[in-house]
Amino acid sequence: MSEAIKYQLKSKDFLQLADFSTGEIHYLLEVAQQLKAEQKQGIPHPYLTGKVLGMIFEKSSTRTRVSFEVGMLQLGGHAIFLSSKDIQLGRGESIADTAKVLSRYIDGIMIRAYSHESVEELAAHATVPVINGLTDLQHPAQVLADLLTILEHKGKLAGLKLCYIGDGNNNVAHSLIEGAVKVGMDINIASPPGYLPNGIITEKAIAAGKLSGATVTITNDPIRAIKNADVVVTDVWTSMGQEEEAAKRLKVFTPYQVNEELCQQANADFIFLHCLPAHRGEEVTTGIIDGPHSVVFDEAENRLHAQKAILKLLLAE
């Protein structure tokens, strides 16, 4: 690791990108790039030898579980899978007591939960770093990986235009709004009426954008949103916990499908992102997600490298 990499984040936790400065986000990305390069070159980087990460899962996962567990292993540490069904948290123990007990055993906690408030409460009572692996409101680890992917493929972040089409009241959309403005990237969100992003998150992002020179545009018109976009992003129309709304959502969101015709409005060299899992034929056509503009598997890999940067900077002494 470069001698320059000695900076510490001001926050002990990683809960949402709005908590971090532009410089801190760029620093996280720099560390992620260096750790990725070291791995590709076969250079060991056991910065977390002897450290243990507890991973609490209220929601099932592929990428989050595997990337955090493998990341800890590659950094020389260890990860413990803690299903909410198997620990006392799932049997009525308070979040505060769980946080205090786990803090006596382990060096950090990653939690993938339904309620963002639960993650904030866990962090408030834990004396070790808490990492948000996903909540219904935010998905900051995913978006840090998205920013890393965009940087790799575009060579920059500031001045680009990112377009998100689909459910704006979505954890990925919220974290994209926060992350984009921090790095000077314009962001357009196109969503149906009734599915717009959280108003408080949007207002704060607009204010942050005034400092970075980035704009936030919320619209119901996907054609307007995607016009001249450098990056196009979507997510599933029905997330975990919304299964009863699936039929309604399918009808509402059909005009917001990311397809070949719509993407003709984007820049010719646009890249397509999706956090996965994807429903081909619903939010995106096969021709787009499996086509030449798609970088979704680079994006999925970068979950590992971005999260290793988070782990190193929060857990290393």
> Binding site for L-ornithine: residue ranges?
171, 235, 239-240
Active-site residue, 275 included: yes
Catalytic entry in 139, 174, 249, 274: 139
DSSP string for 46-81: -TTTT-EEEEEESS--SHHHHHHHHHHHHTT-EEEE
Helices then strands (H, E): number in the chain? 12, 9
Active-site residue, 112 included: yes
Distances from the Cα of 123 to the Cαs of 14, 126, 131, 152, 204, in angstroms? 9, 5, 8, 32, 22
Q: Reduce the DSSP state of residue 250 to 3 states and report it.
A: helix
Active-site residue, 303 included: yes
Separation between Cα atoms, residue 126 and residue 123, nearest integer Å? 5
- Which DSSP letter does residue 237 get? S
Separation between Cα atoms, residue 34 and residue 167, nearest integer Å? 34
Beta-bridge partners for 258: 284
Active-site residue, 142 included: yes
Annotated binding-site residue numbers for carbamoyl phosphate: 61-64, 88, 112, 139-142, 275-276, 303
Beta-bridge partners for 8: none
Catalytic entry in 136, 303, 305, 307: 303
Catalytic entry in 235, 263, 274, 293: 235
Catalytic entry in 16, 74, 138, 142: 142
Crossing angle of helices 140-154 and 171-182, in 10° steps, is 50
Active-site residue, 235 included: yes
Nearest partner of 17 among 110, 141, 127, judged by Cα: 141
Token output for 218: 């919320």
Catalytic entry in 275, 293, 305, 307: 275
Strands ordered across the beta sheet of 231-234: 216-219, 186-190, 161-165, 231-234, 271-274
Catalytic entry in 16, 74, 112, 230: 112
The residues carrying an active-site annotation are 112, 139, 142, 235, 275, 303
